A = this chain, B = another copy of it.
Amino acid sequence: MVFKVDVNGHEIILDAAEEVGGKYSGPRPKPLMLTASAGCTGMDVVSILKKMRVELVDFNVIVEGDLTEEHPKQFSKMNVIYEFKGKDLPLEKLKKAVNLSEERYCGVSSLYKKAIEVTSEIRSLD
Contacts and interface: CB of A to CB of B under 8 A. Distances in A.
Interface of A: 1, 3, 5, 7-8, 10, 12, 14, 16, 20-22, 26-40, 42-43, 46-47, 61, 67-68, 71-75, 104-108, 110-112, 114-116
9 contacts: A3-B39, A3-B42, A7-B27, A16-B43, A33-B111, A67-B107, A74-B110, A75-B107, A114-B114
Contacts of A39: 3, 5, 14, 28-29, 32
A28 B38 CA distance: 11
Contacts of A61: 3
Contacts of A74: 107-108, 110-111
